[in-house]
Structure 1
Amino acid sequence: MQKLFVRSLLSLPGSWLVAASGGKPVTIEERTLDPRLQFLAAMAKRQPGLETMAPADARKAAAAGLAMLDGEPAHDIDVAEIEIPADGRSIRARTYKPRLPNRLVPTLVYFHMGGCVIGDLETCHVFCSEIAFRAGCLVVSVDYRLAPEHKYPAAVDDALSAFRWVRENAKALGGNPNRVAIGGDSAGGYLSAVVSQEMKRANEKAPVLQLLIYPAVDWLSETASMTAFAQAYPLTAPVMDYFRRQYFADPEKEIPELKASPGRCTDLSGLPPAFIYTAGHDPLVDQGRDYAEALKVAGVPVIYRCYDHLAHGFTAMSGAVPGAKVALAEIVETLRRAIG
């Protein structure tokens, strides 16, 4: 019922939504926020912030919020639950396979958003199904361990184990072992950047490309957008501080490490081609832009696009924010052309 109510409100004309949420469009650094996101931001201010909750409660609240905004999953694909072996235990994962008989399809290992504290396979379920269906590739979505139950570098270790396993077992899953890419949004983009760098340092077979959507590549960034969008919806400075406290046992020692802040790497040469997408109203927008520029300077092929009117988390908003749906379609089409 609440989902239908919110969707009906968001279907009102943009001018009405702006009038109901401050009266004037929200424009910061010459970027005007989508009216639907402006309205959602106004609604969110009436609710407790995630940073005030215990992690278990924050996970439930975030999942409920995203469920109201996400679209419907693609159906003409095969979805299966799998377990990835890793150091005597297993990592839960979900595969999304297009129905393309008699061919091995490209593969994308995907990591969900959530600051390494919240989120799970459901967080990116719709987006992963769309990638599989529209890009024609096998998607392996990884349910990496979360903090504070599992502190840094547990999420990184799981990401590395998952990528290596998929790379070696892609054919058995129906994927082309020579066309394995990596990707994720926010914390998932962070993990994807780390894996790409670690494969280079270990002289291992790297992903064929890295898809980084509003990636967090430095846990103590001091870029201008961190201040300008400190109270943006849905990712705020207090929420980022909360994630940082939960994820790191010793922030002063651990955050400078390249497995924690891949954006601080000084040698980016030889990394896989990068497709980097950011949201204009997001504290992380400068991180993504700066990382894209640094990769270009290092000679790495880069596609970069900022969706000025969107906010952090738009991969899970396609059911309520038409602009998010358009952005995801563009991202998936670009991926299809590159990875096919």
Structure 2
Amino acid sequence: MSVQKFIVRTLLKLPDSILIKMSGGKPLAIDGRILDARMQFLAAQGAKQPSITTLDPVAARAGTADGLKLLDGAPSESVTVRSISVPGPAGSLAARLYTLKDAQGPLPGLVYFHFGGCVIGDLDTCHTFCTMIAEISQCAVLNVAYRLAPEHKFPAAIDDALAAWRWADAHADEIGMIAGRIGVGGDSAGGYLSAVIAQEERRAGRSGPSLQLLIYPVTDWEWQGGSMESCADVYPLTREIMDWFGGLYLNDAAEAKDVRVSPMKSSDLAGLPPAIVVTAGFDPLRDQGAAYAERLNAAGVPVTFRCEDSLAHAFTAMTGVVPKAKEACEAIARDVGRALR
């Protein structure tokens, strides 16, 4: 363990009262919710650092990766991880396959995509969380990297994610998954990609995934008001960073009206696969995630919805230092298991 990691983890073991005293003196309350003390401490420290919007994307990726290493938990030891390649429309996509060490025969599966605004993030971003899902849900998980902006703007990420899902669906036997019992999922940008995959497969008249796991998803890149304003300055995702992501990902702002960019704008959500939608209370994306869950439910789609009121965006990568984040991730994994098994 690095010295920096040791210091961070030691600090975050302090009592809530001390952490709050070090982070503004009183609990952070927004929209009737109170932020977890450890999250508040991290938010206060993050606010002291230059925003990733001041960096070029390559430096932002490296800096974010280094920061997450300080916060993420240890991968599950009961899961086997194998690096594989998945065919993509512009070349092979790096991927990791997570399976239970004692698995007997094929398992239900989940194709997973990491967060990062389609600009930052990689397979490591959700590595620990993918091992948690595999262990707790008793499902196989395929964690797939996709091309990032601005080097590869819209629709590159969508094209990669859709190709990866279709490959997994067609090659279920090869990767130890049960055909017809494979879902898609992800957090933030990964949740956005998963929602679009579900819609694209329905539009194509295909059977599509068995489940869509949408964790604090981006569902409308033009969303205004509500949590986009009230949580605009809460670490680690601010409104400024969302605008930065959008500017790098889209070729033109008008593309935000495309349903492949903003799945919320689809006029018909009927017939989509069952959904698990989980949002965070202190997140600019909170309200649009909840609104998408409501629209799915109104369209007759079975929906499991939950808002983790005391947590902020990206909690899936903070399981090593925020106990409530770990609890939330374990609950999501159990939801996945119930849905697919």
Fold shared, TM-score > 0.5 on shorter chain: yes
Instruction: Determine the structure 1 residue equivalent to 2:129.
Output: 127
Residue aligning to 2:190: 188
**Percent of matched pairs sharing the same residue:** 52
Displacement of 1:91 in angstroms is 1.1
SS at match of 2:132: helix
Structure 1: segments with no counterpart, 5+ residues: none
1:336 equivalent to 2:331? Answer no
Secondary structure of the residue aligned to 2:118 is: coil
Q: Is the 8 A contact 1:94 1:140 kept in 2?
A: yes
Amino acid at match of 2:150: P
Task: Work out whether residues 223 and 287 of structure 1, in 8 Å CA contact, stay in contact via their aligned partners in 2.
Answer: no
Take 2:332 and 2:252, find their aligned partners in 1: how far apart are those partners? 36
Q: What is the aligned counterpart of 1:161 among 160, 163, 184?
A: 163
Q: Once the two structures are superposed, what CA deviation does each residue of 1:41-67 show, in whole Å capped at 9, x if it has no partner?
A: 111111110111000110011111111
| 1:66 aligned partner | 68
Amino acid at match of 1:83: S
Task: Return the TM-score normalized by structure 2.
Answer: 0.98
Query: How do 1:31-110 and structure 2 match up within 5 A?
Result: 31-87=33-89, 89-110=91-112
Equivalent pair of 2:213/2:275 in contact (CA under 8 Å): yes
**Cα displacement string for residues 291-321 of structure 1 (whole angstroms, at most 9, x for unaligned residues):** 0000010000000000100000000000000
Quick one: distance in 2 between partners of 1:113 and 1:174?
25
SS of the residue 1:219 aligns to: coil
Q: SS state of the match for residue 53, structure 2?
A: helix
1:199 match: 201
Q: Is residue 243 of structure 1 aligned with residue 281 of structure 2?
A: no
- Which residue in the other structure is 1:218 paired with? 220
Q: Distance in 2 between matches of 1:102 and 1:312?
A: 36
Query: Where do residues 23-34 of structure 1 align in structure 2 (5 Å cutoff)?
Result: 23-34=25-36
Runs of 4+ with deviation above 6 angstroms: none
3-state DSSP of counterpart to 1:42: helix
Structure 2 distance, partners of 1:86, 1:8, is 43
1:99–1:251 CA distance, 2 compared to 1 (3 A)? same
Deviation at 1:87, TM superposition (A): 3.3
Give unpaired runs (5+ residues) of structure 2. none
How many angstroms apart in 1 are the aligned matches of 2:338 and 2:298? 24
Which residue identity lines up with residue 212 of structure 2 in the other structure? Answer: Q
Q: Report deviation, 1:16.
A: 0.5
Aligned 8 A contact 2:89 2:160 in 1:
no
Pairwise CA RMSD of aligned residues?
0.9
CA offset digits 1:244-290 (Å, max 9, x no partner)? 111011122x1100100001111000000000000000000001100
Count of residues in Structure 1 that have an aligned counterpart in Structure 2 = 339
CA distance in 1, matches of 2:268, 2:54: 38
Question: Whole-Å Cα distance in 1 between the matches of residues 104 and 42 of structure 2?
Answer: 45
User: Are the counterparts in 1 of residues 190 and 217 from structure 2 also a CA contact under 8 Å?
Assistant: yes
Deviation, structure 1 residue 100: 3.8
1:289 paired residue number: 290
User: TM-score scaled to structure 1, two decimals?
Assistant: 0.98
For 2:49 and 2:189, the matched residues in 1 are separated by 24
Letter in structure 2 aligned against 1:20:
M
Helix, strand or coil at the partner of 2:123:
coil
Aligned to 1:310: 311
